[in-house]
Structure 1
């Protein structure tokens, strides 16, 4: 009984964590705003209360789009990573296992060679990410069938191919104008967040996450033997296809919005397993809360730690790698 009460309290804290992180972090920056004032400004359209015009402008025009993007990307990459790890029964699987993130990166890089229109870049990244999935599926099919091993190998091939194409695009890019923009985009940043861009990408992330959330109990079945799943009346091939499509949609949408962000899809699901074990019915919701809060904190540190903004992927690696080592040392890999 005591254990259940503790888990219930922890679940409530994890649920509230993204909201608390958003309210606290939205006020941090060169123009500091207290959490209470930040909350008042955020609620001012509903309450009709008069607030500081400068604070309102900073929050609604500059920081709120970034906070919303960080919440969505953290949630999406974490759930996508947890789903891929269950799908492939591999604790090291990440949202780029099928080459989707690299494919989306190539689409964005290709668009950046011709335009700086963020919507065009987003759409090109999304389209090329889905193309990468199609390529992986085609490569993995052998005699009309596809195995998990072939899917993983196909993803490695597609990822390597698109990585080479990214390098080729960087090689031919204008070193003064295009190359810096491409390099900075590939390192990941929330600075490009706009309400218009969020309207394109966030619905796709929410759709994919909703599908994976509804299928979370079925993800446990993927670890069973094929004979056992048939006895349960579950079409594993169809389930795997739906999970791959939803996780791919989420990953491609995240990459199209903010570039490549590593470690989140690997680290957060393991942290969730450390807290709740290997039950995906709990891992998926916990990954949503932890991933959202983690990404908000990382983005806040990237824009507020120094005068020049630090790319998000650098901070996720600097923080993620040591923390992952701590997880490994603490659990001995037993739950990972």
Structure 2
């Protein structure tokens, strides 16, 4: 029996309930304070009244500018931050479980590089604010992982090592394509738009983006949660999983499909955001343990809170939309070695 399974058994349901409840409370408080942050601060109570007025009739006692700031700008941005943070964190946790590797992140199979190329092509064709940017980013993100999977397929099986190597190859290929689009882009309009998009931002999120992203992200999260108990078995190895009646190849495909859909959707809507899918699963694992039945929902809540806090920080320190990748890298890079050292014992290494 591996150390991970042993640790999983020692975790009490009460401890998980307390930890998960605390994480949910922090997320709720962060959502409430998100309306206070920015150039047009709105009190949480007033923001709640503005949101409720779109459901039930309420006599308006607020300024029209506040209503527009809350409903048309801030609420979609907050909801998208929650969805994207949860999507990237859960996909990272799922990939780490499938490959049994603590250094795996959601872009390991080239989905982020492929989606970035799709977005860059969309910006070249129709501009930075066209729907083709999101559509091409999502489509190429999915195609990139499909290409990596078929490259790794050997005699009907897909070894983990081959899949990771294939992902590195496809990622390099699509990154080269991004470089080509930068070279061909207009240096005054298209090139800055591509560069800014690649660094990730929530500033352009509107309700239309949520309509496209929410169903895919919700279905992907539910799929990973439903497969979470099988992921615990898969972490013991393919042979052990088969001996227990689990089709390891089919389970890997299911998890990769869900995680890829989550990552491609997130990247297509807000750009390429690193570190969340790598660091947050380790933080969640330290809080609730390695059991994926608990790890997946905990990573979703912690990842949503983290990205929302980062977005609030960027809106507070700068009047312009500071790209999300900058503060995330400054925070994630120093803390990752600490998290990795403290979580090493849970991987049995």
Aligned with residue 37 of structure 2, among 23, 28, 32: 28
Distance 1:201 1:7 in 2: 29
Instruction: Check the 8 A contact 2:19/2:288 in 1, yes or no.
Output: no
1:13 aligned to which of 22, 26, 30 = 22
Paired with 1:139 and 1:5, the residues of 2 have a C-alpha distance of 45
Higher mean displacement: 128-137 or 115-124:
115-124
**CA–CA distance in structure 2, aligned partners of residues 29 and 285 of structure 1:** 29
Q: Is the 8 A contact 2:104 2:278 kept in 1?
A: yes
Partner of 1:97: 108
**Aligned match of 2:61:** 51
Post-superposition offset of 1:200: 1.2
Structure 1 residue ranges, 4+ long, deviating more than 4 angstroms after superposition: 3-6
Please report the TM-score for the alignment, with normalisation by the length of structure 1: 0.95
Residues 24 and 327 (structure 1 numbering): CA distance in 2 closer, same or farther, change over 3 Å?
same
Identify if the C-alpha distance between structure 1 residues 332 and 90 changes in structure 2 by more than 3 Å, giving closer, same or farther: closer
- How far the C-alpha of 1:324 sits from its partner, in A, is 1.9
Match of 2:122 among 89, 96, 111: 111
TM-score, normalising length: structure 2: 0.91
- Aligned twin of 1:123: 135
2:36 match: secondary structure: coil
Give the match for residue 241 of structure 1: 253
1:305 lines up with 2:317 in the alignment:
yes
Unaligned segments of structure 1, at least 5 residues: none
Residue matched to 2:5: none
**Structure 1 residue 44: deviation in Å?**
2.9
* In structure 1, C-alpha distance between the alignment counterparts of 2:130 and 2:338, rounded to whole Å: 38
1:140/1:4 CA distance change after superposition, 3 Å: closer
Alignment gaps of 5+ in structure 2: 1-11
Higher mean Cα deviation, 284-293 or 216-225? 216-225
Larger mean CA deviation between 219-228 and 293-302 belongs to 219-228
Tell whether the 8 Å contact from 1:98 to 1:133 is kept in structure 2 after alignment.
yes
Equivalents in 2 of 1:243, 1:9: separation in Å? 28
Shift of 1:332: 6.7
Please show how residues 1-336 of structure 1 align to structure 2 within 5 Å.
Answer: 5-49=14-58, 50-52=60-62, 53-116=64-127, 117-328=129-340, 331=342, 333-335=344-346
The answer to whether the 8 Å contact 2:114/2:174 transfers is yes
Which string of whole-angstrom CA distances, capped at 9 and with x for unpartnered residues, describes residues 139-193 of structure 1? Answer: 1012333211110000000000001110111011110111000000000000110
Determine if contact 2:35/2:43 at 8 Å carries over to the other structure: no
Task: Tell me the number of residue pairs that the alignment of Structure 1 and Structure 2 aligns.
Answer: 334
Shift of 1:18: 2.5
Q: 1:55 to 1:196 in 2, by over 3 A?
A: same
The offset of 1:48, in angstroms, is 2.9
CA deviations 1:2-25 (Å, max 9, x no partner) are x75454222212123323211111
CA RMSD of superposed structures (Å): 1.7
Paired position in structure 1 for 2:8: none
